[in-house]
């Protein structure tokens, strides 16, 4: 399901990220606990940015190939961290 789609989107087809981050099971139940996070996710997704509440919340994860969020998205009240993507993954080295 979504896990396979997420892997494919992250490795080959970033245009599928929006669909891959569409949580139909958990986010609607958590939304009342984190209304600001829920609103930010909805705003980002409406502008085509793959976004979801991360973990149990209130952290919001946004994935964008552009490297920036749309200028008209307000993130007041949130700390924004632009994190690099590790393309090498886990590596095992002999000691």
Q: Model-level pTM?
A: 0.78
- Quick one: the chain helix, strand, coil %, rounded to 5? 40, 10, 55
Residue range 34-92, pLDDT digits in tens: 899 999 999 999 988 999 988 777 889 898 876 667 776 777 888 888 888 777 888 89
Cα torsion for 81, 34, 58, 29, to the nearest 10°?
A: -130
Positive or negative: CA dihedral 8, 12, 13, 18: positive
């Amino acid at each position: 399901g979504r896990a396979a789609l997420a892997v494919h989107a992250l490795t080959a087809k970033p245009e599928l990220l929006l669909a891959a981050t569409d949580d139909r099971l958990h986010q609607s139940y958590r939304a009342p606990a984190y209304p600001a996070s829920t609103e930010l996710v909805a705003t980002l997704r409406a502008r085509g940015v793959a976004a979801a509440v991360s973990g149990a919340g209130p952290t919001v994860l946004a994935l964008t190939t552009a490297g920036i969020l749309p200028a008209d998205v307000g993130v007041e009240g949130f700390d924004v961290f632009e994190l690099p993507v590790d393309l090498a993954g886990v590596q095992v080295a002999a000691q």
